[in-house]
Amino acid sequence: MLELRLVQGSLLKKVMEAIKDLVTDANFDCSATGFSLQAMDSSHVALVSLLLRSEGFEHYRCDRNLSMGMNLNNISKMLKCAGNDDIITLKADDGSDTVTFMFESPTQDKIADFEMKLMDIESEHLGIPEAEYHAIVRMPSSEFARICKDLSSIGDTVVISVTKEGVKFSTRGDIGTANVVCRQNTTVDKPEEATIIEMNEPVSLTFALRYMNSFTKASPLSSTVTISLSSELPVVVEYKIAEMGYIRFYLAPKIEEDEEDNNS
């Protein structure tokens, strides 16, 4: 028997909106620890990892580990039927091949439940090793989203270069080149507006902007984003989910044939 009650239902809505562009079908894994998902995007280039810890739920009951295959678009359709202030409860009986989403309006005047068939989805669950990163950048998620969107009107790939002074996002395309430099800046009044750079070693890596722009769909989940970079490792773009966990996107860097793209 599975029963997860999430008071802040809008959070689940945002999570699905953030993932559904990237992943069409995925297994949601429930254990005593929490509710999690790991899935490759449809072209097997990027990886999404979601964790909602059990402590973040108002009520969390998961008698035994359960993996539920669902179509993200269908979930998203159902969640569109939930109000932003609704309390969402997810239920599944042991051995059942369905899952039920229940939406309670804050006033309890309206209760909706949606039952959905589960799917069999094969997936390799990859162990993602904790790694040491050459550089970790934390910045406002809206700013990162804006930069990725802007640069994608110029080029297809972004070179992210980190030095002690700041982080530089560069692209080039038919119409010219673009560089956006964000200086390290810890002095702002509000910590969520700071740009903080932890750097052990300068690093410069190239990524497809298409994926970066997909990742930034998670911006509503957190006011800040953390970008962890190491040469030869996939970048990690992480959005913390308050009190509950995170959503992390992994993307392998492009190998540059044309190293001049890395010049300033």
Q: Which stretch binds DNA (CB under 7 A): 16-24, 137-145, 165-173, 233-241?
A: 16-24
Residue 107, C-beta contacts closer than 8 angstroms, at least 6 positions apart? none
- Can residue 143 be called a binding residue for DNA (CB under 7 A)? no
CB of 149 to a copy of itself, least distance (A): 9
| Of residues 183-202, those binding a copy of itself (CB under 8 A) | 183, 185, 188, 195
Task: Give the SS3 label for residue 180.
Answer: strand
CB of 80 to DNA, least distance (A): 8
CB 43: neighbour CB atoms within 10 A?
9
Rounded to whole angstroms, the Cα distance separating 147 from 142 reads: 9
CB of 12 to DNA, least distance (A): 15
Q: Which amino acid is at 161?
A: S
Number of residues that bind a copy of itself (CB under 8 A): 35
- Can residue 222 be called a binding residue for a copy of itself (CB under 8 A)? no
Rounded to whole angstroms, the Cα distance separating 213 from 195 reads: 19
* CA-wise closest residue to 225 among 233, 235, 234, 216: 216
Bridge partner residues of 236 (DSSP): 228, 250
The listed partner (DNA, a copy of itself, none) that binds 225, CB under 5 to 8 Å by sort, is: none
Q: Which stretch binds DNA (CB under 7 A): 19-27, 57-65, 104-112, 250-258?
A: 19-27
CB of 143 to a copy of itself, least distance (A): 7
Bridge partner residues of 237 (DSSP): 227, 249
Bridge partner residues of 6 (DSSP): 88
- Can residue 111 be called a binding residue for a copy of itself (CB under 8 A)? yes
Binding residues for a copy of itself, rule: CB under 8 A, are 71, 74, 77-78, 80-81, 98, 107-117, 143, 150-151, 153-154, 175-183, 185, 188, 195
